[in-house]
Each structure stands twice: as structure tokens, then as C-alpha cells.
């Protein structure tokens, strides 16, 4: 889950740059790439990614023994919340790659091919790192989720010339982390953000006006369907004890949501600063009234995080 934070930081950083940062001339008939600025930007982004991956390797593998290359089937782990995380991270990485190349005046097809594939490419080394440590392994389902994230971005951009359906996420601290004696984080927000899969909900958000074309519906108003899971204190089955402390018994279950949403990228403003802010937060779902379907019941929330 840590990689989600990295990707969001990179996305916010990207949106602090305008296209003119990468273009020498504003004459659209002879726009030339400012290679010096582009390479500098890519170097900074590359350094951030390399440094963060190195840190995560230390965090993930510090207590694991190095072993020969092996596979690991974790498709059913965490009720697939982890797979949605891979999909979302890969999607945003592809979005960042595409935007960098487009702002650098690279043509559409090349930007889609090389930038749109960035999510899959950047996630691949992590799977090979996992393959050499005990307790981890090369996960084919992770690779598929990474590929689907990049593909989801590329197909929409190719077909619609924009992203009609935007993946988003929300996170809120759960009672399970509080009762897991450190297994789901060290009782603080950042630690639980990394380890507690119960806190995540992944959304697919679209604006009805893409289909209805009604003057009564604002272009920024959106509907979101979401997926989460609860009651998980263990990858496949719940632990009964951790570090000598008994863990309460919980039922693992899936959660499906329907909610309102805002597509900030559709809010008109003449402020360049606000445009960048709106673009940066447009892939995070905000709390809104929500319906939840889980355990064969329907619940309603005035506000759901």
C-alpha cells in the first residue's frame, strides 16, 4: 500500500508543472521539446521512485530470508483488496507517464505506448524482488492486476481521448488495526495506511452527463461504485493470536458501495493554481452519502470515508 502514497505524490508533483515548463516555444506550429527541463524532471521523478523502492525493499524484506526464485499464489489474499491496490497504482503511474510525455510535446501514439505502459513497467521489478524472499514470491495475479491498470488507462484514452471512468480510493482507520496488537500497523495513521487493508475502499467514478447529456446535471457531478473488505486480520485466514496476545474473532466479508462523487477536473475555474489542485485530487474519492451492500444487508451512511 505504500506505493499508493508514492504514486499520489508523483501525480501531485506532476500537476505543479504546466505544459510550458517542457516546451521552448508557444508557437504550436513549431513547438520544440525543452529536453533539459524534461530530463531534469524525469531525473527527479526517477530518483524519488528509486529511493522509495529501495526504502520499501528494506521495510518489506528486513526480516525475511533470501531464497531462490519462486512463485506465490496470493490471488485470494486480503479478499483481493491488494489486487485493486496494484490496479490503482499501475493506472496512476501510467497516467503520470502519459502526462509527462504529452506535456513534453510527444505525439499521442508514442505517449500512449511508452507513457501509458509505465505502470506495468515500474511495478514489474517489485515482483522480481518479491520472488527472492521467503514469505513473498513472484505473484502472477499481481502482474495481471498491474497490466489491467495500465490497459484500463490506455484503452480509455485511445477510445474517448480522456478518462471517462476514474479509479479512486478512500482510507479510514479501522477497529481491526486497533485490536490486532500491531499486526495491521503500529497504532498510528501512517503505519495503518501501509498495513491495514480493511481501511481501503476502491472506487470507479463516472459522470452521468457523459451518457445523458442533461443541462440539469452538473458536469462535475459523478456516481461511484466501490469495493472494500472488512474483518481481515490475516492474508488468507484470520489470526487468533499475535505476539502473545489473543485477537478477537471477526468475520471476513466483502463490501460493495454506491455513492455520489465530484469530478474536480470538470469544475471550471480561471485560476491555474486551482486547476492544478483539482487535477491533483481528482483521483481521491471524497466522503459522501453512500449505500453499502454486505452480509446480505443494505446499509446507508450520510457520510462514508
User: How confident is the model at residue 140, as a pLDDT?
Assistant: 96
* Distance of alpha carbon 40 from alpha carbon 51, whole angstroms: 16
Buried-state track 187-206, b at ≥16 Cβ within 10 A, e below 16: eeeeebbbbbbbbbbbbbbb
What is the CB neighbour count within 10 angstroms for residue 177?
Answer: 25
What's 111's DSSP letter? I
Comparing CA positions, the residue from 47, 33, 45 lying closest to residue 101 is 33
pLDDT along the chain (305 residues), means of 10: 54 54 52 66 66 65 85 96 94 88 84 88 84 90 96 96 93 93 89 91 92 86 96 96 93 96 90 82 89 94 84
Given a contact cutoff of 8 angstroms between Cβ atoms, the answer to whether 138 and 129 are in contact is no
User: How confident is the model at residue 194, as a pLDDT?
Assistant: 84
pTM of the model: 0.88
**What are the helix (H) ranges across 15-139?**
35-61, 81-103, 108-110, 118-130
User: How confident is the model at residue 156, as a pLDDT?
Assistant: 96
Task: For 179-204, write each residue's pLDDT tens digit.
Answer: 999 999 888 888 898 889 999 999 99
Three-state secondary structure call for residue 47: helix
Amino acid at each position: 500500500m505504500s506505493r499508493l502514497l508514492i504514486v499520489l505524490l508523483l501525480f501531485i508533483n506532476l500537476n505543479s508543472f504546466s505544459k510550458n515548463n517542457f516546451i521552448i516555444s508557444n508557437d504550436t506550429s513549431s513547438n520544440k521539446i525543452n529536453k533539459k527541463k524534461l530530463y531534469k524532471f524525469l531525473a527527479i521523478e526517477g530518483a524519488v521512485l528509486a529511493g522509495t523502492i529501495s526504502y520499501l525493499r528494506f521495510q518489506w524484506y528486513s526480516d525475511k530470508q533470501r531464497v531462490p526464485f519462486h512463485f506465490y499464489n496470493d490471488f485470494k489474499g486480503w479478499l483481493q483488496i491488494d489486487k485493486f491496490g496494484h490496479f490503482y497504482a499501475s493506472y496512476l503511474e501510467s497516467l503520470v507517464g502519459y502526462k509527462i510525455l504529452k506535456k513534453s510535446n510527444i505525439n499521442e501514439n508514442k505517449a500512449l505506448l511508452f507513457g501509458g505502459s509505465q505502470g506495468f513497467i515500474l511495478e514489474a521489478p517489485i515482483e522480481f524482488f518479491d520472488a527472492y524472499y521467503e514469505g513473498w514470491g513472484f505473484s502472477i495475479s499481481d502482474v495481471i492486476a498491474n497490466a489491467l491498470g495500465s490497459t484500463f488507462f490506455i484503452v480509455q484514452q485511445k477510445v474517448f481521448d480522456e478518462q471517462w471512468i476514474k479509479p479512486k480510493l478512500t482510507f479510514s482507520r479501522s477497529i481491526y488495526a486497533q485490536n490486532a496488537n500491531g499486526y495491521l500497523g503500529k497504532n498510528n495513521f501512517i503505519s495503518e495506511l501501509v498495513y491495514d487493508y480493511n481501511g481501503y475502499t476502491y472506487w470507479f467514478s463516472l459522470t452521468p452527463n457523459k451518457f445523458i447529456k442533461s443541462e440539469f446535471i452538473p458536469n462535475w457531478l459523478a456516481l461511484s461504485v466501490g469495493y472494500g473488505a472488512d474483518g481481515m486480520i490475516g492474508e488468507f485466514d484470520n489470526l487468533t493470536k499475535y505476539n502473545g496476545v489473543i485477537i478477537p474473532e471477526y468475520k471476513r466479508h466483502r463490501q460493495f458501495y454506491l455513492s455520489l462523487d465530484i469530478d474536480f477536473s470538470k469544475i471550471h475555474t480561471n485560476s491555474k493554481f486551482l486547476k492544478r489542485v483539482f487535477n491533483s485530487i481528482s483521483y481521491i474519492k471524497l466522503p459522501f452519502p453512500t449505500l453499502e451492500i454486505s452480509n446480505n444487508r443494505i446499509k446507508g451512511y450520510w457520510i462514508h470515508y
